[in-house]
């Protein structure tokens, strides 16, 4: 039962992290685009903002793909590829906590914390040798 729940948690986190690239790059960009258009930011600053914005979208997709890559080993009960999910989960958890605090308590950032905890927790369970 614990393993089944961990599989569901791992896949929920992996899919939502990968889909975060779409949400970030195509949906979430709309209000940012409007805010930047209404600002007086220098063009070179705007270019950097867009480069970083789409780099983050690419990172989300890459993280999701790396979680998919780690899956076969975890499915077999091996921890041989668990370092990657642990790093991704830790980054997401730290980002969630820090952003929640820095934003003054915007609950949106708790999604990142939840994804990180799901990845870390499910990897701990799945990476154990099957008995």
pLDDT (0 to 100) of residue 28: 87
- Report pLDDT digits (tens) over 96-125: 999 999 999 999 999 999 999 999 999 999
The alpha helices in 1-131, defined as continuous H runs, are 2-22, 29-37, 43-75, 83-102, 110-126
Give tens-digit pLDDT for 18-47: 999 999 998 989 999 999 999 999 999 999
Reported as a single tens digit per residue, the pLDDT across 36-76 is 999 999 999 999 999 999 999 999 999 999 999 999 999 99
Domain ranges of the chain: 2-126
pLDDT of residue 131: 55
The per-residue pLDDT for 129 is: 63
How many CB atoms neighbour CB 67 within 10 A? 24
């Amino acid at each position: 039962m614990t393993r089944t729940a961990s599989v569901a948690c791992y896949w929920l986190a992996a899919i939502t992290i990968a889909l975060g690239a779409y949400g970030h790059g195509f949906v979430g960009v709309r209000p940012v685009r409007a805010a930047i258009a209404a600002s007086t930011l220098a063009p070179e600053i705007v270019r950097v903002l867009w480069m970083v914005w789409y780099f983050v979208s690419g990172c989300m997709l890459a993280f999701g793909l790396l979680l998919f890559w780690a899956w076969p080993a975890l499915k077999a009960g091996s921890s041989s590829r668990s370092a990657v999910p642990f790093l991704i989960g830790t980054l997401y958890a730290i980002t969630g906590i820090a952003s929640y605090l820095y934003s003054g308590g915007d609950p949106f950032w708790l999604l990142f914390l939840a994804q990180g905890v799901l990845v870390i927790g499910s990897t701990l369970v799945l990476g154990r040798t099957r008995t």
